[in-house]
Amino acid sequence: MEVIALILFILIFILILSGVQVAFVLGGLSVIFGMLFVPDFFSLLPLRIMGTMQNQVLLAVPLFIYMGLMLEKSGLAASMLHAMSKLLGNARGGLGISVILVGALLAASTGIVGATVVTMGLISLPTMLKNNYQVELATGTIVSSGTLGQIIPPSVVLVLLGSVLNVSVGDLFRAALLPGLVLVGAYVLYVFVISRVRPGIAPPIKISEEDDTSMKDIIMAFFMPFILIIAVLGSIFAGIASPTEAAAVGAMGATILTIIQKKFSLDVLKEVMQGSTHLTSMVFLILLGATTFALVFRGLEGDRYLVDLIQGSDMSATAFLILVMIVVFILGFFIDFIEIIFIVVPVVAPIFAAYGIDLIWIGILLALNLQTSFLTPPFGFSLFYLKGVAPPEVSTLQIYRGVIPFLIIQLIVLIAVVMFPQILNMI
């Protein structure tokens, strides 16, 4: 039975890497193996699926997706970038720092990497190139700040990890906040230092004399997103609302902000609802396949076999953690983070639990790791998002070179969280 479980696991990865749809691979193969080898245990599948669908934590996923897509339509990103550039543009590297800070605010408002990278690419990249920013620095700044939505709460990644690891999403949000802020600070510090060491790559920008943006306009550009962030995260951290309830508040708040910005229309609402339905359906279809796989894998005693195998090999908890981090990092080149969360994490979570390792800490390490894989050439998804909206003169190689310093920063922060787990309890 244990050998059959490993064959199932290996076949799933082979078919996924060959390009077959993930949800159908997970569900289809698992159904076949379940009916052939564990038919009695497999009869529990309807109960397992209903239990998953009744998990109220997962209701936060469509709500956060809706919030992110609606904010993308609101025009707040352009307003915040314009306001931040007005404040910092006269300094060397000021525009790059503005992009990072706005990216962090968008991450805390939306939590959707693709939407943030595309939005920032469309808005900020032409401005940075027009003001003679080095192409590598401009592209690296945009893709790295765009992926902050993976770790800065509210993050869809953290919601899914909380569900799979069976830990509190609110605790994951709280633990992720400081590492996310440290990452933002490290990005800002790098741009600040490099713009002084090599002044030509990040010159001050020229503010148009016709620009009549007032301090009131600047304050308003940041006031509304801050109110939304406080309403969502503040209500969770204060214990007033669950993550699902806070997500509903965020979805309504994003709609109100879009109305205030005079960007709301029935066409916008229809587009946002269609996008939310599409993304949510994709996530939950994969989730149903993953639920079937997890049931069959457990029925074949694959989870018990792996726990016994790891513990019998005298592998230390640290060695196993490093092994999992490397595997997840490499898998992130080829398959989406949702698939990694639903396929790999349920398999390794019982082993971490057997070692007595804090699963909140594991969740944050996995989120940081998945964020890093988004940036890693040649297959990082964020790099392709930016390339899709970049001007033709921006080459793929320039984007690859630009992201390397930020990737190093990302790895340094990941290693720091591995070595100093107490950082998660400081907020």
Cα separation of the two ends of the chain:
45
- Tokens encoding 285: 């279809």
Q: Containing H/E element for 233? A: none
Q: What does the pLDDT look like over 333-390, one tens digit per residue?
A: 767 677 788 888 888 888 898 889 999 999 999 999 988 877 887 767 788 778 888 8
pLDDT class of 207 with cuts at 50, 70, 90: low
pTM of the predicted structure, to 2 decimals: 0.81
Of the spans 50-59, 173-182, 285-294, which averages the highest pLDDT?
A: 173-182
For position 107, what pLDDT does the model report?
A: 76
pLDDT class of 393 with cuts at 50, 70, 90: confident
Q: What does the pLDDT look like over 137-189, one tens digit per residue?
A: 999 999 998 888 888 888 888 888 998 898 988 899 999 999 999 999 999 99
The alpha carbon of 305 is separated from its chain's Cα centroid by a whole number of angstroms, namely: 31
- Mean pLDDT for the stretch of residues 32-40: 88
Q: Containing H/E element for 189? A: helix 169-197
Cα–Cα dist 117/122, whole Å: 9
Sign of CA dihedral 127, 131, 135, 137: negative
Q: What DSSP assignment string belongs to 47-113?
A: HHHHHHHT-GGGGHHHHHHHHHHHHHHHTHHHHHHHHHHHHHTTSTTHHHHHHHHHHHHHHHHT--H
- Mean pLDDT for the stretch of residues 392-411: 90
- pLDDT of 217 strictly over 70: no
b/e string for 371-380 if b means 16 or more Cβ within 10 A?
A: bbbbbbeeeb
pLDDT class of 212 with cuts at 50, 70, 90: low
Packing angle between helix 94-109 and helix 135-146, nearest 10 degrees? 20
pLDDT class of 268 with cuts at 50, 70, 90: very high
For position 111, what pLDDT does the model report?
A: 62
For position 409, what pLDDT does the model report?
A: 94
Cα–Cα dist 126/104, whole Å: 20
Poorest-pLDDT segment among 49-58, 249-258, 318-327: 49-58
Q: What does the pLDDT look like over 407-423, one tens digit per residue?
A: 999 999 999 999 988 88
Query: Please, are residues 294 and 8 in contact by the beta-carbon 8 Å criterion?
Result: no
Q: What does the pLDDT look like over 273-282, one tens digit per residue?
A: 998 898 888 8
Q: What does the pLDDT look like over 62-103, one tens digit per residue?
A: 888 888 788 878 877 777 777 777 777 677 888 889 889 888
Closest CA relative to residue 287, chosen from 27, 5, 7, 19: 27
Query: Please, are residues 171 and 161 in contact by the beta-carbon 8 Å criterion?
Result: no
